[in-house]
RNA sequence: GCUGGGGUAGGCUAGCUUGGUUAGACUUGGGGACUGUGGAUCCCCCGACGUGGGUUCAAAUCUCGCCCCCGGCCCCA
């Protein structure tokens, strides 16, 4: 038995990788259009970085190890922490706002299932040093554009506000150390499990029910009128900006919670229902994290897209990627012209044309077949017409062919 | 961590219930029919029982452990 990929990892064979690269390109292009620049950080970091960000609980799902210098190292389980670290270390005095995006693999030691791998890919973006509704709108707009640019049809973007919930939870007498526990139940909308917890804390029944009602505030942007105080006004602003930008594929859901403590205000998620259990394709919000890593407190908004999942969702929607192929396949009719054919393929390549040629000594019929399987636009047939300084150029799509002087083939193929 | 289903050539699969020819087909790949023309057809070739033990004269088939894959729960930054 041969050696397999480690559990939860995959080989990306050429067909698959070409597709992934193309969609990566789509995401990069959208980010570029939104004025973001790419950033890259190490694949491994000091384990401490992730513990600071997410709490000691992450350790059990971290690929962590000691290096030969006895340092505690971990493969990154996500990228935000590293980007914020890089910000604190080297970008904190850059002109604001700082808009960066990243793409890369992350690692989590979890049980693989649909859309969940141990090595997976995230595409994300952070806007740092700005805390305005415009900032949040910009992040949501870009996430929405990315999903649309990929061609996904079936998805939902839900926007909430963690500040509203935190405030309310504090107001009704839940101590800080039990907030996370309560939020977790609210996130899942497990009110029956939340009730006894709140009761035990000593929260009044009517306050508890009012809290549940708040998290049940779900619907179109019009439900914002029911959201009290500053947060309601703030979200209204965000939504107004989004509306002007033509971003209307959203709904309000104050039940959107997001796991972590450092989220401060707006939070949002996107999901693709076709995916089943692991349907979340994007998540983000506004946060402050830099002070945890020794920097000043800086407001940021960011999000990450689960690249593997969104591709899976696209596949389930029947979106197929068409292989690009090459421009020309050069075919020697006989051994007499074989070496000349290599001269011609070299010339095409020199001119920037993607050109291939048979290297297995095959005869014309099989070579033609190769031209076909490499998805070549043209076949360049090199035979006796070379004595007249010509080759035969065949359009593989239409089957039409004509004789072309050797020094005109580059121009002809370029059109 | 818990749980359901499943592993036969690169891919898809027959055989397994009832143990017994050389594990069969399709497809991909290589060669040829076809000495200057691809997608069609035909012929030939390469290629597999996840792994380790047990039962047996004999195991792809029965049995146990492990590994892996596909789902679901928990978790999900």
Gap from A9 CA to B6 C1', Å: 19
- Predicted confidence band at A396 (pLDDT cuts at 50, 70, 90)? very high
Judged by average pLDDT, the poorest of A187-196, A230-239, A288-297, A348-357 is: A187-196
In this structure, what token pair is assigned to residue A77?
A: 């389980």
Q: Which domains does chain A have, with CATH numbers?
A: 14-316 (3.30.930.10), 328-414 (3.40.50.800)
Please state whether strand B lies within 7 Å of residue A383 at its CB atom: yes
Gap from A348 CA to B77 C1', Å: 49
From residues 234-263 of A, which are strand B contacts by CB within 7 A? 258-260
Q: Is the CB of A224 less than 7 A from some atom of nucleic acid strand B? A: no
pLDDT of residue A305: 96
pLDDT exceeds 80 at position A217: yes
What DSSP string describes A373-391?
Answer: HTT-SEEEEESGGGGGTEE
A113: pLDDT strictly greater than 70: yes
Range in A18-27, A181-190, A387-396 with the lowest mean pLDDT: A181-190
Please determine, for residue A192, whether its predicted confidence score (pLDDT) is greater than 90.
no
Predicted confidence (pLDDT) at residue A261 exceeds the cutoff of 80: no
Which region, left, alpha or beta, applies to residue A141 given φ > 0 means left and ψ of -120 to 50 means alpha? alpha
Give the nucleotide with minimal C1' distance to the Cα of A370. Answer: B38
Residue A259 has pLDDT above 80, yes or no: no
pTM: 0.92
CA distance linking residue A410 with residue A120, whole number of Å: 41
**Strand nucleotide closest to residue A10 (CA to C1'):** B69
A76: which nucleotide lies closest, measuring CA to C1'? B77
Share of chain A above pLDDT 70, in %: 99
pLDDT computed for residue A1 by the predictor: 56
CA of A216 to C1' of B73 (A): 25
**ipTM for this model:** 0.86
Between CA A90 and CA A109 the distance in angstroms is: 30
Residues 123-152 of chain A sitting with CB below 7 angstroms of strand B:
none
Distance from CA(A180) to C1'(B61), angstroms, rounded: 54
Distance A2 CA to B55 C1' (A): 29
Q: Residues A32-86: pLDDT tens digits?
A: 999 999 999 999 999 999 998 888 888 888 998 899 999 999 999 999 999 999 9
pLDDT tops 80 at residue A3: no
A84 CB-to-strand B distance under 7 Å: no
Q: Residue A21's closest CA among A311, A275, A282?
A: A311
The predicted pLDDT at position A58 comes to 83
* CA distance linking residue A165 with residue A161, whole number of Å: 7
For the residues A303-314, what does the mean pLDDT come to? 94
- The answer to whether A278 CB sits below 7 Å from nucleic acid chain B is yes
> Is pLDDT at A132 greater than 90 in this prediction?
yes
């Amino acid at each position: 038995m041969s050696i397999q990929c480690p559990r939860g990892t995959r080989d990306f064979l050429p067909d698959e990788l070409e597709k992934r690269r193309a969609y990566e390109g789509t995401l990069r292009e959208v980010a570029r259009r939104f004025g973001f620049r790419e950033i890259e950080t190490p694949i491994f970091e000091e384990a401490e970085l992730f513990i600071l960000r997410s709490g000691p609980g992450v350790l059990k799902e971290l690929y962590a190890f000691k290096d030969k210098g006895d340092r505690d190292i971990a493969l990154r389980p996500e990228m935000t922490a590293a980007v914020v670290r890089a910000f604190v270390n080297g970008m904190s005095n850059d002109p604001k706002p700082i808009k960066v995006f990243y793409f890369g693999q992350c690692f989590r030691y979890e049980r693989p299932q649909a859309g969940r791998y141990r090595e997976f890919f995230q595409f994300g973006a952070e806007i740092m040093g700005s805390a305005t509704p415009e900032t949040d709108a910009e992040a949501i707009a870009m996430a929405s554009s990315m999903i649309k640019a990929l061609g996904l049809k079936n998805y939902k973007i839900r926007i909430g506000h963690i500040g509203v919930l935190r405030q309310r939870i504090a107001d009704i007498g839940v101590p800080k150390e039990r907030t996370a526990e309560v939020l977790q139940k609210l996130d899942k909308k497990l009110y029956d499990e939340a009730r006894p917890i709140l009761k035990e804390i000593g929260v009044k029944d009517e306050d508890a029910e009012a809290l549940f009602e708040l998290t049940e505030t779900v619907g179109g942007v019009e439900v914002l009128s029911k959201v009290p105080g500053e947060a309601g006004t703030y979200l209204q602003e965000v939504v107004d900006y989004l509306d002007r930008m033509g971003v209307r594929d959203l709904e309000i859901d104050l039940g959107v919670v997001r796991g972590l403590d450092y989220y401060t205000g707006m939070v949002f998620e996107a999901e693709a229902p076709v995916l089943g259990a692991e349907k979340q394709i994007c998540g983000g919000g506004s946060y402050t994290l830099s002070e945890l890593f020794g920097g000043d407190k800086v407001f940021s908004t960011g999000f990450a897209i689960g690249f593997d999942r969104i591709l899976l969702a696209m596949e389930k929607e029947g979106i197929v990627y068409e292989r690009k192929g090459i421009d020309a396949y050069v075919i020697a009719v006989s051994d007499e012209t074989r070496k000349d054919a290599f001269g011609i393929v070299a010339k095409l390549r020199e001119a920037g044309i993607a050109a291939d040629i048979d290297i297995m000594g095959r005869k014309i019929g099989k070579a033609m077949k190769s031209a076909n399987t490499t998805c070549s636009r043209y076949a360049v047939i090199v035979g006796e017409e070379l004595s007249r300084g010509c080759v035969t150029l065949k359009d593989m799509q239409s089957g039409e062919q004509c004789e072309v002087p050797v020094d005109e083939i580059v121009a002809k193929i370029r059109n």
